[in-house]
Structure 1
Amino acid sequence: MLWPKVVCFALLGLVFGQLHQAVSTQTVSECPTNFSRVADKCLLADKSWKNWYESDRHCRSLNAELLSIKNQTELKAIQEWLPVAEPYQLEFWTAGNKLGEVKTLIDYYWQSTGEQALYLPWNQDQPIPSSGDCLTLFANYSMETGEFVMDVHRLTVKNCTQWAPHICQTPLQHFTTQLCLNPSAVYEAKVPV
């Protein structure tokens, strides 16, 4: 007669144990270490001067890619972030280039996505295709007031072998976190989605 009671008690213990294991579940989006969340991606401004090819390799070594710009909203977020991240840096390599087979002199592609760059917010008097095959975000500046005043960063054509700092991008990492209770401890687990 004791056997059915033990089985019943064990089953109830399992049911209640399962109910108390995952007390809280939450989905979070984070950037990797040293990257900042800007719009819907993670960015890292690297101020070491490299040519476009070295910059591309550096970003790939971080499991990232050079910056690509999808639209005006994303550019605006980048332009708000840059003066905070790198307040006096005028130029950064992007993923934009025309290194592959192009139909016209002004066809550029994002190395990071392989797609044709359809949104190209050019700097004044750009593009100048004879200047090179790669794109930087470049900001003009003035000292007319006696202070350093920098314009917003816009795309400029540059020779890929010249040096400039660069911006790496990576997508947000999505995790489901669960707060798990055990009779002897509390655990938090992060599970990639």
Structure 2
Amino acid sequence: MLSTKLVCIALVSLAFGQVYLVASEETITLCPTNFTQVADKCLLVDGSWKNFYESDRHCRSLNAGLLSISNPTEFNVINEWLPIIAPYQPEFWTSGNKLGGTSDYYWQSTGQKAVYLPWSAGQPTTTAGDCLTLMANVTMTPEEAILSVHRLTVKPCTQWAPHICQAPLEIFKTQLCLNTTAFFEAKIPV
């Protein structure tokens, strides 16, 4: 009789424990260390001046790629974030380029054709180069320098500029796990 009760209690405990385990599952998204979540990306501004190739190599050393822009919403969020993180920096390398003899621009970090291209006034200038930077116009006042919204500009890939690395969000699932010895630690009144 006692052993039947004990088995029933154990089975009920395990059943409730499994239900609780499933009910407590949670998905968490985080950015890698030193990256900041901006829209659905993790971004890192590097203020050191490098050419396009060195910038790309630096981002890849961080398991990331240079910035790509896929839509107006993402572009606007990035432009709201840039004055906070780098208020006096007018230019950044992106992964956009038309290397390889193509007439279309591609995002090197994703391999996708660049469909959304928010150009600066007078751009693209095809004779200016093959790589894309985000460039803001600078207006000087007696008190300060004011940067406009960053937009895409064509530039020779061998010139220098700071850059923005992008990494994907890291997705984790958390679950509440049962203590495997809980059944044996339980004290059942007789």
Report the TM-score when normalising by structure 2.
0.84
Gaps of 5+ in 2: 183-190
Change (3 A) 1:75 1:5: closer
Partner of 1:76: 76
**Aligned residue pair count:** 182
Q: CA RMSD in A?
A: 2.3
Partner of 1:190: none
Partner of 1:41: 41
| Structure 1 residue 68: Cα displacement | 0.7
| Structure 1 residue 8: Cα displacement | 3.5
| Structure 1 residue 31: Cα displacement | 1.4
Gaps of 5+ in 1: 186-193
Residue 121 in structure 1 maps to residue 118 in structure 2: yes
Change (3 A) 1:17 1:71: closer
Partner of 2:187: none
Q: Summarize deviations over 1:89-133 as a string: whole Å, max 9, x none.
A: 11100000111231x3xx211111222212111112222222211
Residue 31 in structure 1 maps to residue 31 in structure 2: yes
The equivalent position to 1:179 in structure 2, one of 173, 176, 185, is 176
Aligned runs of 1:129-168 on 2, under 5 Å? 129-168=126-165
| Aligned-residue identity in percent | 65
CA distance in 1, matches of 2:72, 2:149: 13
| Structure 1 residue 184: Cα displacement | 8.7
Change (3 A) 1:17 1:79: closer
Change (3 A) 1:2 1:120: closer
CA distance in 2, matches of 1:72, 1:23: 37
CA distance in 1, matches of 2:65, 2:74: 16
- If you compute each CA radius of gyration, which structure gives the higher value, 1 or 2? 2
Q: Summarize deviations over 1:32-62 as a string: whole Å, max 9, x none.
A: 1211111111111111111111111111111
Change (3 A) 1:175 1:53: same
Change (3 A) 1:79 1:20: closer
Partner of 1:99: 99
Q: Point out the structure with the larger strand share.
A: 1
Does the 8 Å contact 1:21/1:182 carry over to 2? no
Partner of 1:89: 89
| Structure 1 residue 14: Cα displacement | 2.9
Q: Secondary structure at the match of 1:123?
A: coil
Q: Secondary structure at the match of 1:179?
A: coil
Residue 169 in structure 1 maps to residue 166 in structure 2: yes
Q: Secondary structure at the match of 2:68?
A: coil
Does the 8 Å contact 1:23/1:181 carry over to 2? no
CA distance in 1, matches of 2:167, 2:36: 10
CA distance in 1, matches of 2:66, 2:30: 19
Partner of 2:67: 67
Q: Secondary structure at the match of 1:56?
A: helix
Does the 8 Å contact 2:21/2:175 carry over to 1? no
